[in-house]
């Protein structure tokens, strides 16, 4: 079976991380080798950039370029070799997150975003992207319930997450074959079931 690149997206606290393990388990249950990774991060250098991105304040364009620098390394060191070896790759975030957070949330110029996207991965796009869509007020309550100290993005206000959410939905509307939107206000079991149905329909044919 052809290798697949699957990405999970959504505003902070939407619940995507909780469902990635279920997706990976389903793929493994079919005897398919799968690599689970995340952005920013996924490589030793990418994880160092993640620390900076999540905790240091910086200019918007610096932030966008560092996201793509980490992604360039991620593609070269992990994503592309894994796909070439016939493995499937499941990533917690990819370029749709830069569109949602830096373009939608922070106001990065779309032309500059597209230039970076076309430079870093002119041909590769995920085979399937799952957007966990949730009201920012509900996501904020979920995050508060974890008791974890919020990072630089998680400290943003509701209007920032409204813009991020709307940008994700625009991205989904622009590419409905690749991008599927999941109602993340459902229970974890309901979401797992819907996720399984989408994976079976989109990837295991
Ligand atoms: N469907 C759900 N209903 C209620 N609570 C949920 C649901 N899914 C996840 N949670 C809880 O919400 C919190 C955030 O979940 P999770 O870490 O999966 O979100 P996330 O989208 O990965 O966030 P981040 O992007 O900030 O890492 C966790 O405490 C988790 O147990
Ligand atoms: C890839 C990517 C990520 N972000 C933001 C989104 C999140 O707030 C953090 C990552 O944290 P998570 O707990 O691992 O989800 O980074 C971004 O703004 N732009 C991006 O391209």
Name the residue ranges covered by the structural domains of the chain.
Answer: 5-36+87-203
| Unique residue bearing structure tokens 């469902």 | 19
CATH homologous superfamily of 5-36+87-203 equals P-loop containing nucleotide triphosphate hydrolases (3.40.50.300)
d(CA 4, CA 44): 23
Question: Residue 147 pLDDT > 80, yes or no?
Answer: yes
Q: pLDDT for 149-203, tens place per residue?
A: 999 999 999 999 999 999 999 999 999 999 999 999 999 999 999 999 999 998 8
Question: Is the minimum distance from the CB of 164 to ligand 2 under 6 angstroms?
Answer: no
Coil, helix or strand at residue 30? coil
Binding site listing = 10-17
Binding site listing for ATP = 10-17
Q: Compute the distance from residue 48 Cα to the ligand 2 centre, in Å.
A: 14
Question: Ligand 1 pocket check: which of 17, 101, 154, 184 to mutate, most ligand atoms within 8 Å of Cβ?
Answer: 17
pLDDT higher for 205 or 153?
153
ipTM: 0.97
* Element housing 85 (H / E): none
What DSSP designation does 43 have? S
Q: pLDDT for 33-88, tens place per residue?
A: 999 999 999 999 999 999 999 999 999 999 999 999 999 999 999 999 999 999 99
Check if the beta carbon of residue 168 is closer than 8 Å to that of residue 133: yes
Q: Compute the distance from residue 51 Cα to the ligand 1 centre, in Å.
A: 21
What beta strand segments (E) does the chain contain? Answer: 5-10, 34-38, 88-92, 128-133, 179-183
d(CA 34, CA 92): 13
Nearest of 153, 166, 20 to residue 93 by alpha carbon: 20
18 alpha carbon, closest ligand = 1
Sign, Cα dihedral of 104, 107, 111, 116: negative
β partners of residue 88: 34
Q: Is 174 exposed, middle or buried (0-12, 13-18, 19+ CB in 10 A)?
A: exposed
Atom of ligand 1 at shortest range from CA of 19: 18
Q: Is 37 exposed, middle or buried (0-12, 13-18, 19+ CB in 10 A)?
A: buried
């Amino acid at each position: 079976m052809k290798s697949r690149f699957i990405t999970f997206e959504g505003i902070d606290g939407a619940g995507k991380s909780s469902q990635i393990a279920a997706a990976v388990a389903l793929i493994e249950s079919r005897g398919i080798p799968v690599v689970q990774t995340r952005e920013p991060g996924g490589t030793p250098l990418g994880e160092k950039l993640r620390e900076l991105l999540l905790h240091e304040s910086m200019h918007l364009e610096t932030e966008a370029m560092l996201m793509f620098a980490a992604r360039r390394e991620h593609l070269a060191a992990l994503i592309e070799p894994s796909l070439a070896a016939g493995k499937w790759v499941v990533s917690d975030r990819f370029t749709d997150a830069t569109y949602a957070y830096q373009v939608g949330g922070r106001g990065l110029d779309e032309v500059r975003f597209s230039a970076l996207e076309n430079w870093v991965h002119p041909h590769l796009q995920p085979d399937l992207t799952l957007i966990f869509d949730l009201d920012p007020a509900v996501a904020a309550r979920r995050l508060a319930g974890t008791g974890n100290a919020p990072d630089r993005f998680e400290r943003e206000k509701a209007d920032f997450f409204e813009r991020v959410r709307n940008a994700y939905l625009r991205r989904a509307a622009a590419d409905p074959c690749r991008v599927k939107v999941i109602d993340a206000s459902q229970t974890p079991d309901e979401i797992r079931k819907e996720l399984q149905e989408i994976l079976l329909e989109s990837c295991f044919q």
